[in-house]
Amino acid sequence: MRFSVVEAGYDRRQVDACLDELDLRLRRLAARAESVAGAGREGDVIRLDAGHLCDYLRRRAAPADPSDADVPAGPSSAERAAADLLARARAELDAAREEARLVREAAYAEALRARREFEAALLARRRREARVDEILSGARVPADTPTAAAGR
């Protein structure tokens, strides 16, 4: 981000707008990091870093002394820290999303395989049942035919 140079440093409105935008982006990033399932330790680190940076930006944006309101704050170190943190957080978020995608795909493939196996087993059972019904319905023993039970 570039700021216009004025007589006593940087344009205060541009710096404030930049800090507000960074704060908004970091809040969104923190919210996304919380929503990422299974991120575990990485999500905690992202939330912690984003929270620290939000606090830092709030402290930098609000002058400690009201008489300092016209003195511009040097955004370069905050800007670099925010950019580094944002880049790290985005990389970790992308990695977590990729991992979640792979887990989701593996779970879907496993569920699909299990369903196919279940349906195949169910079909085989129904075929056996139909065959047994066919055999039992077609077996007619005349009343005068001696059976093994009758021989005793």
| Two structure tokens written together for 31 | 């919210």
Q: Which residues contact 134 (CB under 8 A, 6 or more apart)?
A: none
Q: How far apart are CA 57 and CA 67, in angstroms?
A: 19
| CA separation for the pair 141, 78 (Å, rounded) | 96
Q: Which of 23, 17, 78 is nearest to 50 (CA)?
A: 23
Let me know the angle formed at the C-alpha of 132 by 129 and 133, rounded to the nearest 5 degrees.
Answer: 85
* pTM, full prediction: 0.38
Per-residue pLDDT of the chain (152 residues; tens, 9 = 90+): 565 666 666 677 777 777 777 777 777 776 776 666 555 666 667 777 777 777 777 777 666 555 555 545 555 777 777 788 888 888 888 888 888 888 888 888 888 888 999 999 999 999 999 999 988 887 776 667 666 565 55
